[in-house]
A and B are shown apart, each in its own frame.
Chain A
């Protein structure tokens, strides 16, 4: 009785969830197909299958390489800054005192703000007419700092918003990691009078590495796909300064109505995220196994 039941019950339980989400493969394969087509909504008579032409065109296309460059710059800078700040704050709050726990709770709040709305908040704070941040920087000598509307500071501004939203993510993960580390090595080091910098680089950092790796891979995965903050802040502008992958493909689709090119761009991004997510899932499983003590395949 029980043996027989075991055969179909798990399928019955998991199938509805799968059925409701598996249709995503239809638009996915549609995108694969579009990426191999010359397909502009404005020039319907040119529509046709061109195999890998869209991809081959990328090789010599400066606008494509600019997208690659600005996406990678954005990803590397946000993840590195967030990692350094998040680790620093986590170390400051490591001891579980009432003040530290209250601070950790408050520092989590930006992560709960919708990224698009966070960009809107920073837009209000950097408005040329009344922005409080314009006022602050004017006090230190930058009287006409134009933030996101100046090509030379636009990337800096959206990175700032990203850092504001997502540093708390790294911070809470590393804080939980730090607090779960075994106490003995630290006590032994303190007894022996080992210098603190040595303890940090030779004990804390290596033991924390799995957490650092998981947190930064997860952030990389999101950062290379960032859309909300950049679109809400400048819609990819000024000019094409901030045309990262998803923003550029959005513009290609809706503004230039170039469906083929937009789909090919997203396929390139998908290949990158597919690779990153595989690395991420491996690390994540290892950590999850440790946290739950369950065996995972």
Chain B
């Protein structure tokens, strides 16, 4: 790196700029589109300069769209609410179940421990439709079809392995000596776990929680197969806009912007944990 010439520096700068343009332009363009009326969107050639309007957002939020043909109901806020419930619920339950399990796998070598851990991991890699399609038939039979509980249960297949394996790595990085010292001072196992182990692993638990929230939020196929309209999250709901009649392009763009804002914000906020989480702890960020 000592002999970087000016030419190389310029080439580097140009290439990085090109990469930034390719990867950021779609987000930028959809953001612009969400502030435009249909007439502005349909202009040729497209223009960067326009009078921004909030009409797309207000009609999504109020759920009312006034068109020439009359008033149209939009259920998008309901989709957003579903996304919040499904993602938050799934992550909370996964944390509740996954953190103790992660601790067990990190601290104890017991019979079948690696088998159980890998069985849980393998759920992440199997084709989702393989289980989802038979599940549609079972869910009808046991009354879980189109319920939040049923969906959150299935979402565990996404969030739980992720939390388990990321948090396990964090527990393994913490020396057990502190726990031993606290135990020797006469505290119970449960108290040691709550007062020492969990606080020490908190950054890892937070990172795993955020990452699994992102995966749950971004999930599409689970709800596409198992949920009907009133339980669908934004990923399925926004896509349904494309075929809905009377919808304006600006509203689709606004729906996309609203839907991707939470995950983009979380990613920027939790960026330093993301790398480690994305590789399930195989690469240190």
Q: Which residues of A contact B (CB under 8 A)?
A: 5-7, 9-11, 13-14, 16-18, 20-22, 24, 26-28, 30-31, 34, 85, 88-89, 92-93, 95, 100, 103, 105-118, 120-125, 127, 129-130, 132, 135, 164, 167-169, 172-173, 175-177, 180, 186, 190, 211, 214-215, 218, 221, 225, 227-228, 231-232, 245-246, 249-250, 253, 259, 262-263, 266-267, 269-270, 273-274, 276-277, 280-281, 284, 287-288, 291-292, 294, 297
Contacts and interface: CB of A to CB of B under 8 A. Distances in A.
Interface stretch (B25-33, B51-59, B68-76): B25-33
A49 B16 CA distance: 58
Interface in B175-200: 189
A168 B275 CA distance: 11
B1 A20 contact: no
Of the listed residues B120, B161, B169, B173, the one surrounded by the most CB atoms of chain A closer than 10 A to its CB is: B120
A214 B220 contact: no
Pairs of residues from A and B, 8 with the lowest C-beta to C-beta distance, nearest first: A114-B218, A13-B104, A116-B220, A17-B101, A10-B108, A27-B134, A10-B104, A30-B134
A129 B42 contact: yes
9 contacts: A13-B104, A108-B267, A120-B252, A130-B46, A190-B1, A227-B221, A232-B239, A246-B129, A291-B169
Contacts of B283: 173, 176-177, 180, 211, 214, 287, 291
Contacts of B15: 88, 92
Interface residues of B, number: 102
Interface in B231-277: 234-236, 238-239, 242, 249, 252-253, 256, 259-260, 263-264, 266-268, 271, 274-276
Interface of B: 1-3, 12, 15-16, 19-20, 22-24, 26-27, 29-30, 33, 41-46, 93, 97-98, 100-101, 103-105, 107-108, 110, 113-114, 116, 118-123, 125-135, 137-138, 153, 156-157, 160-161, 164, 169, 172-173, 189, 214, 217-221, 224-225, 234-236, 238-239, 242, 249, 252-253, 256, 259-260, 263-264, 266-268, 271, 274-276, 278-285
A121 B264 CA distance: 15
Given A31-B134, A124-B253, A112 B214 contact: yes
Nearest to B83: A114
A105 B242 contact: no
Main secondary structure of the interface of B (DSSP, over half): helix
B253 A277 contact: no
B133 A31 contact: yes
A197 to B, nearest CB: 13
Contact of A117 (B24, B105, B214, B235): B235
Nearest to B122: A277
Contact of B284 (A13, A250, A276, A291): A291
A129 B41 CA distance: 9
A288 B282 contact: yes
Contacts of B235: 114, 116-117, 228
A14 B101 contact: yes
A10 B104 CA distance: 5
A84 B160 CA distance: 32
B104 to A, nearest CB: 4
B46 A114 contact: no
Contacts of B30: 121, 124-125
A86 B152 CA distance: 34
A227 B15 CA distance: 31
Contacts of B160: 17, 20-21
Contact of A124 (B105, B217, B249, B276): B249
Nearest to B193: A13
A16 B157 contact: no
Given A106-B24, A112-B214, A221-B125, A263 B133 contact: yes
